[in-house]
Amino acid sequence: MANKKNNITFSDIAKYTNFSKTTISRYFNHPETLTEQNRNIIAEALEKLNYKENKVAKILANGCTEFIGIIIPNLYVRYYSEILNQILSTYEAFGYKFLVFISNGSKEDERTYLQELLAYKIEGLIILSHTLPSIELANLHLPLVAVEREDVYISSVNSDNYQGTILACENLSSHDCEVFLHISAPTTRTTPAYKRVEAFDDYCEKHQLLHHTFMEEMGASHEEVKSHLTHILEQIELNYSGIRKGIFISGDTYANVFLNLLIRKYGYLPNDYFLIAFDDSPISREAIIPISSVSQQIDKIAFEAVELLISQIQAQKERPAFCEPVHKIISPVLIPRETTEKN
């Protein structure tokens, strides 16, 4: 009944039921073409012989792996772990399985991951790492969606960094801030986050507001970040003392550190400080004083990314032609909290 490897196959079921392998296959893929009686016979046999399906064989025969590859920089940054969380959760909706690689920033390694993913015949790729240029990725001729990274030659889903920044500025305006400050790590022009820099400047210049941007490399460790922000805080206290400061910090990990520095200095958040962060990761809500933040709606980004990818997978199956990159934008939402809405 079972072969040496103790693996029940269609052949075994076929022998047992006196049908052919074809009929067993149809039982799974086109059950409506069988009589109910025969369906029952097969169902019983499957049960009795304890049949387990083998998708590897299925893939080889019909070419559909239902695999999507993911290359993500790390899971240490909240944004990434949450977006992976949301992407993996789309299994319920779409049924695609995910092969996940963590990229450590080495191009060499990342190319290895790509080869491995291609070898497993992934149907599409979601890429969050920013190591390889999009032109190289486009040359894979594989359905592909980038999330929050350079996306000149490939499809992508991003949050509207420009609009989100405007929301933050408008909130700071509504609190009559007298100087607008932007704290950010350096970004390059092709990066989605660069839009935050642009938007901040645009807004301040349009409304003729006193403003300044602190843009510097913050370092990788918490201690480095803390020391950089300590220095920035000193400058702010020196140059803008006594006036209402609206501070927009790109990234709420930084914002949390900055807030903690203020609290350790004063024991409370001084009245002339108004803080808004970006991302709205849990730390914003859990900070000692809950931090106002621009939420990226990560669940939507993830869902749209998978949906867009699948639509491209299907498009390519029908006509394997070149697809124009599609760029989707998700609107962010301002979550006002205590660092701006004081009472």
Partner DNA sequence: TTGTACGCGTTATCAC
Partner DNA sequence: GTGATAACGCGTACAA
**Residues from 144 through 163 that contact DNA (CB under 7 A):** none
Q: Give the nearer residue to a copy of itself in terms of CB position, either 83 or 179.
A: 83
Number of residues that bind DNA (CB under 7 A): 28
Residue 35 binds which entry of a copy of itself, DNA, none, CB below 5-8 Å type-dependent: DNA
Single-letter code of the amino acid located at 28: F
76 binds, among a copy of itself, DNA, none (CB under 5 to 8 A by kind): a copy of itself
Token pair listed for 328: 């989707």
Binders of DNA among residues 60 to 99 (CB under 7 A) are: 60-62
**Taking CB within 5 to 8 Å according to partner kind, which of a copy of itself, DNA, none is near residue 25?**
DNA
Tokens of 50: 């304890």
Minimum distance of DNA from residue 136's CB (angstroms): 23
**Closer residue to DNA (CB): 40 or 74:** 40
Instruction: Reduce the secondary structure of the chain to three states and give it as a string.
Output: CCCCCCCCCHHHHHHHHCCCHHHHHHHHHCHHHCCHHHHHHHHHHHHHHCCCCCHHHHHHHHCCCCEEEEEECCCCCHHHHHHHHHHHHCHHHHCCEEEEEECCCCHHHHHHHHHHHHHCCCCEEEECCCCCCHHHHHCCCCCEEEECCCCCCCEEEEECHHHHHHHHHHHHHHCCCCEEEEEECCCCCCCCCHHHHHHHHHHHHHCCCCEEEEECCCCCCHHHHHHHHHHHHHHHHHHCCCCCEEEEECCHHHHHHHHHHHHHHHCCCCCCEEEEEEECCHHHHHCCCCCEEEECCHHHHHHHHHHHHHHHHHHHHHCCCCCCCCEEEECCEEECCCCCCCC
For a copy of itself, the binding residues (CB under 8 A) are 5, 52-57, 59-60, 63, 65, 74-76, 81-82, 84-85, 88-89, 91-92, 97-102, 104, 109, 116, 118-121, 222, 253, 256-257, 260, 263-264, 267-268, 282-283, 285-289
Cβ closest to a copy of itself, residue 71 vs residue 181:
71
| Contacting range for DNA; rule: CB under 7 A; set: 23-31, 132-140, 191-199, 330-338 | 23-31
Considering the complex, what minimum distance in angstroms separates the CB of residue 47 from DNA?
A: 15
Q: Which does 116 bind (CB under 5 to 8 A by kind): a copy of itself, DNA, none?
A: a copy of itself
| Residue 16 interacting entry, from DNA, a copy of itself, none, C-beta within 5 to 8 Å by type | none
Q: How far is the CB of 152 from DNA (least distance, A)?
A: 32
Residue 22 contacts DNA per CB under 7 A? yes
Among 15, 38, 109, 326, binds DNA (CB under 7 A): 38
Structure tokens at 40: 């029952």
Q: Which residues bind DNA (CB under 7 A)?
A: 3-5, 7, 9-11, 18-23, 25-26, 28-29, 33-35, 38, 53-54, 57-58, 60-62
